[in-house]
Amino acid sequence: EDQVTQSPEALRLQEGESSSLNCSYTVSGLRGLFWYRQDPGKGPEFLFTLYSAGEEKEKERLKATLTKKESFLHITAPKPEDSATYLCAVRLRGTSGSRLTFGEGTQLTVNP
Amino acid sequence: KAGVTQTPRYLIKTRGQQVTLSCSPISGHRSVSWYQQTPGQGLQFLFEYFSETQRNKGNFPGRFSGRQFSNSRSEMNVSTLELGDSALYLCASSPTEGLWGNSPLHFGNGTRLTVT
């Protein structure tokens, strides 16, 4: 069965304390892996797409990487405004474009 | 460019009633999909529409249905509501790339449905 697992479930950091979120997947074939940020009461906001192992994407304090079995979202020197739930999702080979399988998310809190 | 717009934002219904949710995709996006988000199950795929045709459906009962109009706007309907249908319903759109496109989905802020 195709599975996406995110860890940790929750992470509390001090402002400036860098860390990484993990998304591991067990799937039959990967077409793409997506990272989203979700704030309370809002829909997921797209951050990154990764398509193949070894690929990296960066945006401000965030950097996403992909291996054959997992993806990491590295947060460098986080600020309180980075507090949110971070979701990863995979698009599987053989499924049409809009069908994504999501992980449960990591709830990140950054204290000032 | 306006994002994905969902109406209404909040809805309270009673068990047994039916409900219709509306979604307007980003201009130019012809693919629309719907997801259910609950604390226990996370985001679960409901169905997707492209050019007014349902091309994929998730593991939900037939009480959940949808449609897409010629202007790409979409509606989702849930009949005979149950308490377990309480959730955040999210609509997403993506650019027109055909069935095997690989662009990201762009989500609206959802409709919060509470069934009492």
Cα B35–Cα B36–Cα B41 angle in degrees, nearest 5: 120
Provide the pLDDT for residue B84: 96
CB contact under 8 Å between A99 and B58, yes or no, is: yes
Full DSSP string of A46-108: EEEEE-STT-EEEETTEEEEE-SSEEEEEE-S--GGG-EEEEEEEEETTS-TT--EE---EEE
Contact A112, A80 (CB under 8 A): yes
> Which amino acid belongs to residue A96?
S
Provide the pLDDT for residue B98: 59
B32 Cα to chain A: minimum distance (Å) = 8
B24: buried, middle or exposed (CB in 10 Å: 19+, 13-18, 0-12)?
Answer: buried
Phi, psi of A4 (to 5 degrees): -125, 125
Provide the pLDDT for residue A31: 86
Q: How far apart are CA A84 and CA A98, in angstroms?
A: 24
Tens of pLDDT, residue by residue over A19-76, are 999 999 988 788 899 999 999 999 999 999 999 999 999 999 999 999 989 999 999 9
Contact A107, A10 (CB under 8 A): yes
Select from A41, A99, A104 the Cβ nearest to the Cβ of B45.
A99
Q: How far apart are CA A102 and CA A99, in angstroms?
A: 10
CB contact under 8 Å between B99 and A91, yes or no, is: no
Residue B26 DSSP code: P
Q: How far apart are CA B46 and CA B64, in angstroms?
A: 8
B78 Cα to chain A: minimum distance (Å) = 20
Contact A71, A109 (CB under 8 A): no
Q: Note whether A105 contacts B: Cβ–Cβ < 8 A.
A: yes
Q: State the pLDDT confidence band at B97, using cuts at 50, 70 and 90.
A: low
Provide the 10 A C-beta neighbour count for residue A87. Answer: 26
A47 Cα to chain B: minimum distance (Å) = 9
How much is the average pLDDT of B23-40? 94
Cα A109–Cα A110–Cα B2 angle in degrees, nearest 5: 75
Phi, psi of A23 (to 5 degrees): -135, 110
Q: State the pLDDT confidence band at B96, using cuts at 50, 70 and 90.
A: low
Q: How far apart are CA B36 and CA A2, in angstroms?
A: 19
60-89 in chain A: CB under 8 A from chain B? 87, 89
71-110 in chain B: CB under 8 A from chain A? 90, 92, 94, 97-110
Looking at per-residue pLDDT, the higher value among B108 and B28 belongs to: B108
Report the share of chain B in percent with pLDDT over 70. Answer: 94
Residues 6+ apart with CB under 8 A from B17: B81
Of B61, B63, B95, B57, residue with least CA distance to B77: B63
* Length in residues, chain B: 116
Provide the pLDDT for residue A24: 96
